[in-house]
Amino acid sequence: MQRLLAIFGSVLISSLILVGTAIPAVITAEQRKELNQVRDGLGDVDKLIKDKKYDEAGKALDEATAKIEKIVKDAELKPGDKMIAPVQLLIDKKKQTLQKLAGTTKGKEDAADVSFIKQVAPLLNSKCASCHDDNAAGRLRLDSFAEMKKGGKSGQLLQIGNPQRSLIMARVTAANPAQRMPKDASALNNEETALLANWIKQGAKFDGEDETIKLADFGKPATKARPNTPIKISKATGNEKVKFIKDLAPDFVTICQRCHSGNNPRGGFRVVTFEDLMRGGDSGAVLVAGDLERSRLWELINGGPPKMPPGQARIYRGWYNNLKIWIEEGCKYDGDDPKVPLQRLVPTEDELKLAKLGRMTADEFVAMRKEQTSEQWKKVLGKEEPRALETSDFYFYGNVEEGRLKQISGWADEHAKALRGGFKLPDSPIWRGKLTVFVFKDRFGYSEFSQTIENREADPAVVGHSEVTVGQEEAYIVIQDLGDTANSTLPDTRLNLIDQMTGAYLKRDGKKLPEWLIRGTGLAMATKAVGGDNEYLKSMRGAAADALRSLESPAELFGEGKFAPTDMAPIGYTLVGFMVKEQGQPNFMKFVAALQSGSNLRDAVGSVYKPATPQSLATAYLASIGQSTGPAVKKKGKK
Ligand code: HEC
Ligand code: HEC
């Protein structure tokens, strides 16, 4: 009995611990203080780097890393936790800068040949394959070389010989933790990113025998292949009442794949590709064309036992009816390749959401926005009654005086006019369901918003931001009212408003525009409204020159994850200013429109700045800032 109790007790305790870790971790005041000290200490690192004391700077950064790691350990945070991510990011960025200046990456670049099988595959397999296997997160599979070559939803993953242009490098080095891979985990270390970069630089070669072998299987003794009984697949004629891809595949993916994919599919039955579906599971084929009675899948859907899907999951009547007709019609496949994961054939979550939002009327959209806005306010400053104000384009929500909110709404209406004029927009509201403008009278409100709504610590140098999600489901900007006088580090409120509003406009179509462009366009438009005499705007040139000092070559200017968020304003502002000066505003607007409609940077630059390339644009821009190209900068660093 005693023994039984002990066992029972330990089960109880371990389940308690499980519950405990599900609650977001909280750090103590002491740890928060320490974290702040680490961040403040990073300022000294800048100074060391400036004084070319690279060894000391490196040591200081290693110490900072150790302290962060200790906090993570003590507070039982997940690596990459939102609490520490901003500081981690700063450290990473400074390490990169340091490496470049001290020339240490140079040595690594001439590294010996990288082996895919021996070095890259184990890395991808341990850090990426859990999400990029047949679940194909981002429609990307990284579980075999053959799959990797196909790329993901954004296209090619690898630009042979050119790591800087390779999507995979952009995503593993992204400064923004929301973008950075591996998702929700700590970033790859320098050695790992250098390994990937060198492998791409050396031609991204496959040094094995069979590109389709799973990365996890390299080096394992060859296992007996599954008996590969030929699978009969009948092509649809187009006259069937039920279309597999449209009518059935989406729910096979969302309902069944949870248990019927991965390395150990339940019942030995995989629902990953059409071929898998027809191959069946442990009991053999589960679908018999034209024969409901002999189709085990139908039997189990109809109640089993075991009933599929088990437990709480439910299927829709419509899907059930379609499944029946589809089997009766002979299990026809209306796709091209039965080996393609179904996931790639069905609409993504975003596409489904877009379709749903697309069906909403303008009034429904406005009602949704109103509800969101008041919910968000309640979460942030629940005890404070907001002041609200509504105009045809905006909801203003804030805790500033009524007169101030009116004044701000006047500026916003004025800038809406400027956006309509500049981008030739129709008179209808610029944002579906209007744009919410949160105005906080002090730092407290602003940073509470960042923490409770966006789950991140606000960078002290950031006093405004914009957020527009897919389909404009959410569309808001948040600003801290800083009064009407700018200084060299902080903008005044009107400028901040224009900057963020422009950002929210550029994010409106859901295309991911580069951050420099968003900030640069916003500040350029603000210059027209507030005048170039503004202290904040006047400080941009110097700040840009500082930020650009770490560039090794012009091509790096447009690399993702190159600069800290706070560097984006000065770089964007000076770069946009340069582009407008060179080619005139109409051409610049054309360039923006090209990006908005989905062109890549190279094509967009080429279409407006003929015959320029991003590289030549970068070179000319850097010269205008007084930064000649890379080699000169590097020399300076080596002296
Ligand atoms: C915890 C799950 C997870 C892990 C681990 C993970 N990813 Fe991802 N990855 C995702 C999700 C989800 C997406 C799609 C959303 C997005 O693009 O951010 C994605 C998207 C991507 C994309 C963009 C694909 C495209 O075509 O747009 C790349 C590239 C990528 N991941 C690379 C990697 C690499 C390399 C690793 C390992 C170092 C990795 N991922 C680890 C979940 C993960
Ligand atoms: C929550 C997990 C779960 C989900 C979701 C689920 N299944 Fe299953 N499925 C199982 C398990 C477990 C078995 C093995 C049961 C057994 O053998 O007793 C199984 C077995 C099967 C089998 C039998 C395979 C064979 O060869 O014996 C079929 C067919 C099947 N599932 C179809 C489906 C379909 C279709 C869906 C989606 C509508 C689905 N399942 C969703 C867990 C799941």
The pLDDT value given to residue 3: 39
**Nearest listed ligand to the Cα of residue 151:** 1
Pick the residue whose CA is nearest to atom 14 on ligand 2.
Answer: 267
The pick from 159, 181, 511, 600 for probing ligand 1's pocket by mutation, whose C-beta has the most ligand atoms within 8 angstroms, reads 181
> From the CA of 187, how far away is ligand 1's center (Å)?
12
The pLDDT value given to residue 415: 95
Per the listing, tokens 């859901």 go with 510
Our answer on whether the CB atom of 215 is closer than 6 Å to any ligand 1 atom is no
The pLDDT value given to residue 16: 31
Task: State pLDDT tens for residues 246-255.
Answer: 999 988 988 8
Return d(Cα 576, Cα 578) in angstroms, integer.
5
Q: Which atom of ligand 2 is nearest to the CA of 305?
A: 18
> From the CA of 300, how far away is ligand 2's center (Å)?
8
Our answer on whether the CB atom of 140 is closer than 6 Å to any ligand 1 atom is yes
> From the CA of 250, how far away is ligand 2's center (Å)?
17
Using a pLDDT cut of 70, give the percent of the chain over it. Answer: 89
Asked if pLDDT for residue 9 goes beyond 70, the answer is: no
Over residues 315-320, mean pLDDT: 89
The pLDDT value given to residue 14: 32
Q: Which atom of ligand 2 is nearest to the CA of 255?
A: 37
Return d(Cα 457, Cα 14) in angstroms, integer.
32
> From the CA of 173, how far away is ligand 1's center (Å)?
12
Return d(Cα 51, Cα 98) in angstroms, integer.
12
Pick the residue whose CA is nearest to atom 23 on ligand 2.
Answer: 267
Our answer on whether the CB atom of 79 is closer than 6 Å to any ligand 1 atom is no
Pick the residue whose CA is nearest to atom 17 on ligand 1.
Answer: 138
Higher pLDDT, 186 or 204: 204
**Short-list 548, 536, 409, CA closest to 479:** 409
> From the CA of 252, how far away is ligand 2's center (Å)?
11
Return d(Cα 141, Cα 216) in angstroms, integer.
13
The pLDDT value given to residue 431: 95
pLDDT range class, residue 209, cuts 50, 70, 90: confident
Cβ partners under 8 Å of residue 440, min gap 6: 398, 399, 400, 446, 449, 478, 479, 480, 481
Asked if pLDDT for residue 455 goes beyond 90, the answer is: no
The pLDDT value given to residue 102: 60
The pLDDT value given to residue 567: 87
Q: Which atom of ligand 2 is nearest to the CA of 286?
A: 29
**Nearest listed ligand to the Cα of residue 136:** 1
Higher pLDDT, 21 or 411: 411
Pick the residue whose CA is nearest to atom 36 on ligand 2.
Answer: 256
CA 243 to chain centre: 33
Cβ partners under 8 Å of residue 300, min gap 6: 286, 306, 307, 308
The pLDDT value given to residue 95: 75
**Nearest listed ligand to the Cα of residue 140:** 1
Question: Which of 53-67, 250-264, 317-331, 592-606 is modeled with the greatest confidence?
Answer: 317-331
pLDDT range class, residue 106, cuts 50, 70, 90: very low
Question: Which of 79-88, 198-207, 477-486, 589-598 is modeled with the greatest confidence?
Answer: 477-486
Q: Which atom of ligand 2 is nearest to the CA of 267?
A: 14
Task: State pLDDT tens for residues 81-94.
Answer: 777 777 777 777 77
The pLDDT value given to residue 80: 63
Higher pLDDT, 285 or 19: 285
Asked if pLDDT for residue 353 goes beyond 70, the answer is: yes
> From the CA of 276, how far away is ligand 2's center (Å)?
13
The pick from 171, 172, 196 for probing ligand 1's pocket by mutation, whose C-beta has the most ligand atoms within 8 angstroms, reads 171
Pick the residue whose CA is nearest to atom 27 on ligand 1.
Answer: 154
Asked if pLDDT for residue 7 goes beyond 60, the answer is: no
pLDDT range class, residue 154, cuts 50, 70, 90: confident
Determine which of 153-162, 291-300, 392-401 has the lowest per-residue pLDDT on average: 153-162
The pick from 125, 126, 134, 140 for probing ligand 1's pocket by mutation, whose C-beta has the most ligand atoms within 8 angstroms, reads 140
Question: Which of 103-117, 214-228, 479-493 is modeled with the greatest confidence?
Answer: 479-493
Asked if pLDDT for residue 11 goes beyond 60, the answer is: no
> From the CA of 43, how far away is ligand 1's center (Å)?
32
Asked if pLDDT for residue 564 goes beyond 70, the answer is: yes
Over residues 481-506, mean pLDDT: 93
Asked if pLDDT for residue 235 goes beyond 60, the answer is: yes
Cβ partners under 8 Å of residue 611, min gap 6: none
The pLDDT value given to residue 222: 41
Average pLDDT, rounded, for the chain? 83
Question: Which of 58-72, 108-122, 146-160, 624-638 is modeled with the greatest confidence?
Answer: 146-160
Per-position b or e across 617-638, b if 16+ CB within 10 A of its CB? bbbebbeebebebbeebbeebe
Higher pLDDT, 282 or 85: 282
Query: Under a CB-based contact definition with an 8 Å cutoff, are residues 249 and 346 in contact?
Result: yes
Q: Which residues line ligand 2 (CB under 6 A)?
A: 255-256, 258-260, 266-269, 280-283, 286, 296-297, 300, 306, 308-311, 313, 315
The pick from 78, 131, 348 for probing ligand 1's pocket by mutation, whose C-beta has the most ligand atoms within 8 angstroms, reads 131
Pick the residue whose CA is nearest to atom 10 on ligand 2.
Answer: 266
Asked if pLDDT for residue 186 goes beyond 90, the answer is: no
> From the CA of 172, how far away is ligand 1's center (Å)?
9
Our answer on whether the CB atom of 184 is closer than 6 Å to any ligand 1 atom is yes
The end-to-end CA distance of the chain, in Å, is 77
Our answer on whether the CB atom of 372 is closer than 6 Å to any ligand 1 atom is no
> From the CA of 15, how far away is ligand 2's center (Å)?
27
Using a pLDDT cut of 90, give the percent of the chain over it. Answer: 32
**Short-list 331, 281, 342, CA closest to 308:** 281
CA 31 to chain centre: 29
Pick the residue whose CA is nearest to atom 19 on ligand 1.
Answer: 138
> From the CA of 267, how far away is ligand 2's center (Å)?
6
